[in-house]
């Protein structure tokens, strides 16, 4: 990777670290000049729990949650969030409550769908969405449309990184924001200044990570 890479610590918990690289990258919706790796947060059990502890703070005393819908490989963190919110002694609105943790599937057309045996965990349920990154908000909007189709009631959105403050009128609570990543920019591909200067892409970025090209 022809980039400069460094780590950023979460302001509320220094044990949570985000790996950031400068370069010219393309996502499915935009071109970005910073690539953020969430691998450690999503796979390391200790860091995943640290992330869950910080995100759970936003929802301990808010609305009851029936289901956490995990997007972009956040299932480990989502399970910890559910455990923290429901544990005895938490004194929160979800103490001793049962919270389900599920992930949608993607069909052949790229649409998000829920299998029949978990649709009842979305329909008429209070839903918290957990996602790795919200750059332009388009991927999140697609997920929220899916949840609405199945009759879910959105009560919150939690992200590891978000460049967007709200989606569907709901505030996005995140561990990291553009304030933590100086000079972070997202561009429409036709307006990307790197492309206009003829600079080649360093890689492609999707929910799973980075692919060098």
Q: How many domains does the chain have?
A: 1
CATH number, domain containing residue 151: 3.40.50.2020
Return per-residue pLDDT of the chain as tens, 213 residues: 445 889 999 999 999 999 999 999 999 889 999 999 999 999 999 999 999 999 999 999 988 999 999 999 999 999 999 999 999 988 899 998 999 999 999 887 778 999 999 999 999 999 999 999 998 788 899 899 999 999 999 999 999 999 889 887 889 999 999 999 988 999 999 999 999 999 999 999 998 888 988
Rounded Cα–Cα distance for residues 162 and 180 (Å): 11
Residue 77, pLDDT score: 98
Q: Which residues pair with 9 in a beta bridge?
A: 17
Residue 50, pLDDT score: 98
Rounded Cα–Cα distance for residues 100 and 81 (Å): 11
Rounded Cα–Cα distance for residues 74 and 70 (Å): 5
Q: What's the number of CA atoms in the CB half-sphere (13 Å) around residue 62?
A: 17
Q: Which residues have CB under 8 Å from 41's CB, separation 6+?
A: 16, 18, 47, 48, 51, 77, 160
Q: Which residues pair with 8 in a beta bridge?
A: 18
Whether 204 contacts 210, CB under 8 Å: yes
Residue 128 tokens, joined? 């918290």
Q: Which residues have CB under 8 Å from 157's CB, separation 6+?
A: 128, 129, 131, 134, 140, 167, 170, 171, 172, 173
- Give the domain extent around 157: 5-212
Residue 1, pLDDT score: 46
10 Å CB burial of residue 67 (0-12, 13-18, 19+) is: buried
CA-to-CA separations, 102 to 17, 78, 125, in angstroms, rounded: 26, 9, 13
């Amino acid at each position: 990777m022809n980039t400069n890479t460094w780590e950023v610590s979460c302001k509320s918990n220094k044990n949570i670290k985000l790996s950031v690289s400068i370069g010219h990258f393309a996502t499915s919706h935009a071109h970005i000049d910073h690539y953020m790796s969430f691998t450690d947060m999503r796979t390391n059990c200790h860091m995943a729990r640290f992330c869950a502890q910080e995100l759970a703070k936003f929802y301990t005393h808010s609305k009851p949650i029936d289901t956490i819908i995990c997007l972009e490989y956040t299932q480990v963190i989502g399970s910890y969030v559910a455990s923290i919110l429901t544990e005895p002694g938490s004194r929160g609105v979800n103490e001793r409550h049962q919270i389900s943790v599920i992930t949608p599937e993607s069909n052949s057309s790229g649409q998000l769908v829920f299998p029949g045996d978990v649709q009842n965990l979305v329909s008429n349920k209070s839903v918290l969405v957990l996602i790795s990154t919200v750059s332009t908000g388009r991927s999140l909007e697609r997920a929220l449309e899916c949840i609405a189709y199945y009759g879910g009631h959105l009560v919150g959105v939690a992200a590891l990184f978000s460049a967007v403050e709200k989606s569907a009128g709901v505030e996005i609570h995140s561990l990291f924001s553009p304030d933590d990543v100086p000079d972070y920019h997202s561009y429409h591909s036709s307006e990307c200044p790197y492309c206009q200067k003829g600079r080649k892409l360093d890689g492609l970025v999707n929910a799973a990570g980075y692919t060098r090209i």
